[in-house]
Amino acid sequence: MGRMRPMTSPPRNDYWRRTRRLTVGLLLAWMLVAFAPVYFARELSIEVFGWPLAFWLASQGALLAFCAIVIVYAWRMRRLDAAAASQAADARPPETR
């Protein structure tokens, strides 16, 4: 007789699906922020306060966007973790709570 494999619960699959979707979305945002100003540097070559806009986007704007990506990731993961913990607590039998 073979061993039966434990089934994963749907809430756990939902948690990992949402985590992967968040991670992929934020990685795409990171890629856009990192490469778009460099790729479009010539088209963005207007001056703002005496500095080329492409230079400002590549140096200051990218830094702010990276910080925003980290903040969004931490905020969303905290909410996802709290929801997963709540679902796990509700799924336990009453005698183990």
pLDDT, one tens digit for every residue, the chain (97 residues) = 555 455 455 667 889 999 999 999 999 999 998 888 778 777 767 887 887 777 777 778 888 999 999 999 999 999 999 998 888 777 776 665 5
Let me know if residue 96 belongs to a domain. Answer: no
User: What is the reported pTM?
Assistant: 0.70
Q: Are 37 and 60 in contact (CB under 8 A)?
A: no
The domain tally of the chain equals 1
User: Which pair of tokens denotes residue 63?
Assistant: 């830094």
Let me know if residue 90 belongs to a domain. Answer: no
CA dist., res. 85 & res. 91, Å (int) = 10
- Residues with Cβ within 8 Å of 75's Cβ and at least 6 positions away in sequence, in order, are none
Let me know if residue 5 belongs to a domain. Answer: no
Beta bridge partners of 47: 52
User: Which pair of tokens denotes residue 86?
Assistant: 């709540």
User: What integer pLDDT is reported at residue 7 of this predicted model?
Assistant: 44
The parent domain of residue 73 ranges over 11-85
User: What integer pLDDT is reported at residue 94 of this predicted model?
Assistant: 66
Question: If you search the block for the tokens 């966007």, which residue do you land on?
Answer: 65
